[in-house]
């Protein structure tokens, strides 16, 4: 670990501690005012313990701790945003608003968690119709795109089954899974026999995937690829495939992989008169894709911030952090993802599938 990383870590811990004190103090003031609460030591102990729930849950794959810890992180983050305004109101009313305002905030937190849970577990389908100005042996193509499934203790068989159900209903020609299919390692996928569900995710032209950053984190890339390919998912790792002599599908290694090839290297020997589609988990190097004659790119990774106002950050970090953007001859698609990472909630975003209807014409 570098010196700068150590300094950054300590700054983060210091900032988190200050914000935690601010939120905890406001909570204690409200409890004392509303209920004449006198158990300060118990309150402090509880606040310290609850900080560990999410991280222990992630380490030991405990869905209960991930849910509880994730809910606390949502409350904590929104408290940081809302408490300054609440403090101003309390000051302006000479502390008369403490109790009713606290009740309003608690109700708001419950509502946010309910909405966040609903958004995370009830996927929507978003459709796009585009024209690619190239000839192909087929006139049209229906694509189902679902990045960032993040199969894990929280995103399990039932959520994966929803993707299968959507696929059965939509009847796509091809299914694209642009990275982060599993969350860090393959353990829970195997434990819950999710392959039984994954094998049902089928399309006439196949189901294709690339690796995302999370497949690298658990250092089980080979195990993940081998397992999912047995279940019918074909990985493209800096590779291309010509499908039906109509279009090329290119799959890139993740942006975090130091060994990944440049996009122009991947497509220099293929026929550019045919449509070229590229899966790249992280939506970087879009300008390089335009220069290399790519027609469509498919990405995820951003989650669109997952929890508002996270999209402010992703919007600053990426040229395209969400949706469909056509620039020059490149159609870029970036989805907020089918699953979720971290707190199992979505506020301001939805679990989603993109259906892309493509017409090829010269």
Domains identified in the chain, total number: 2
Which pLDDT tens digit goes with each residue over 173-205?
Answer: 999 999 999 998 899 999 999 999 999 999 999
> Is residue 136 located within the same domain as residue 267?
yes
Of 96, 120, 144, the residue that ends a domain is: 120
All residues at 6 or more sequence positions from 159 whose CB lies less than 8 Å from its CB, including other chains: 121, 149, 338, 339, 351
Q: 132: which 2 tokens?
A: 């690619």
DSSP 303: G
Which stretches of the chain score pLDDT less than 50? none
> Is residue 243 located within the same domain as residue 256?
yes
Which pLDDT tens digit goes with each residue over 258-317?
Answer: 999 999 999 999 999 999 999 999 999 999 999 999 999 999 999 999 999 999 999 999
All residues at 6 or more sequence positions from 200 whose CB lies less than 8 Å from its CB, including other chains: 164
Output phi, psi for 156, to 5 deg.
-115, -150
- Interatomic CA distance for residues 240 and 267, integer angstroms: 8
> Is residue 275 located within the same domain as residue 169?
yes
Contact 153, 344 (CB under 8 A): no
Of 120, 154, 171, the residue that ends a domain is: 120
Q: What is the mean pLDDT of the chain?
A: 95
- According to the model, what pLDDT value does residue 1 have? 58
Contact 147, 300 (CB under 8 A): yes
> Is residue 85 located within the same domain as residue 130?
no
In CATH, what number is assigned to the domain containing residue 300? 3.60.21.10
- According to the model, what pLDDT value does residue 362 have? 66
> Is residue 95 located within the same domain as residue 136?
no
> Is residue 149 located within the same domain as residue 223?
yes
> Is residue 139 located within the same domain as residue 70?
no
Strands (E), 33-182: 124-132, 140-145, 174-178
Residue 173, Ramachandran bin (φ over 0: left; ψ between -120 and 50: alpha; else beta): alpha
> Is residue 196 located within the same domain as residue 87?
no
> Is residue 147 located within the same domain as residue 221?
yes
> Is residue 28 located within the same domain as residue 156?
no
> What H or E segment, with its residue span, contains residue 77?
helix 63-92
Of 89, 120, 151, the residue that ends a domain is: 120
- According to the model, what pLDDT value does residue 61 have? 86
Query: Domain range holding 27?
Result: 3-120
Per-residue b or e along 88-121, where b marks 16 or more CB atoms closer than 10 Å to that residue's CB: eebeeeeeeebeebbeebeeebeebbeebbebbb
> Is residue 151 located within the same domain as residue 257?
yes
- According to the model, what pLDDT value does residue 95 have? 85
- According to the model, what pLDDT value does residue 43 have? 95
**CA angle at 146 for the pair 142 and 150, rounded to the nearest 5°:** 165
- According to the model, what pLDDT value does residue 218 have? 86
- According to the model, what pLDDT value does residue 232 have? 97
> Is residue 54 located within the same domain as residue 139?
no
């Amino acid at each position: 670990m570098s010196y700068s990383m150590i300094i950054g870590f300590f700054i983060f811990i210091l900032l988190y501690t200050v914000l935690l004190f601010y939120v905890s103090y406001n909570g204690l003031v409200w409890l004392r005012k509303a209920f004449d609460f006198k158990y300060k030591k118990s309150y402090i102990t509880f606040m310290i313990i609850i900080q560990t729930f999410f991280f222990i849950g992630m380490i030991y794959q405990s869905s209960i701790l991930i849910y509880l810890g994730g809910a606390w992180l949502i409350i904590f983050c929104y408290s940081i945003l809302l408490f300054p305004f609440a403090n101003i109101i309390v000051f302006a009313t000479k502390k008369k608003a403490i109790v009713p305002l606290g009740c309003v905030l608690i109700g708001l937190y419950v509502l946010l968690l309910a909405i966040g849970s609903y958004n995370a577990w009830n996927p929507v389908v978003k459709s796009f119709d585009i024209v690619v100005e190239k000839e192909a042996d087929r006139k049209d193509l229906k694509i189902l795109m679902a990045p960032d499934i993040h199969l894990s203790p929280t995103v399990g068989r039932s959520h994966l089954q929803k993707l299968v159900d959507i696929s059965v209903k939509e009847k796509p020609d091809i299914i694209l899974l642009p990275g982060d299919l599993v969350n860090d390692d393959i353990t829970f996928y195997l434990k819950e026999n999710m392959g039984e569900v994954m094998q049902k995710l089928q399309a006439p032209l196949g189901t294709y995937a690339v690796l995302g950053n999370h497949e690298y984190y658990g250092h089980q890339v080979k195990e993940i690829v081998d397992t999912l390919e047995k279940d019918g998912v074909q990985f493209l790792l800096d590779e291309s495939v010509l499908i039906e002599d109509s279009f090329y599908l290119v799959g890139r290694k993740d942006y975090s992989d130091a060994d990944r090839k440049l996009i122009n290297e991947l497509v220099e020997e293929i026929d550019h008169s045919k449509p070229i589609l590229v899966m790249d988990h992280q939506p970087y190097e879009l300008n390089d894709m335009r220069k290399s004659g790519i027609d469509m790119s498919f990405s995820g990774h951003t989650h669109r911030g997952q929890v508002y106002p996270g999209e402010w950050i992703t919007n600053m970090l990426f040229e395209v952090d969400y949706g469909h953007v056509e620039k020059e001859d490149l159609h870029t698609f970036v989805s907020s993802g089918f699953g979720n990472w971290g707190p199992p909630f979505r506020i301001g975003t939805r679990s989603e599938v993109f259906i892309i209807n493509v017409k090829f014409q010269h």
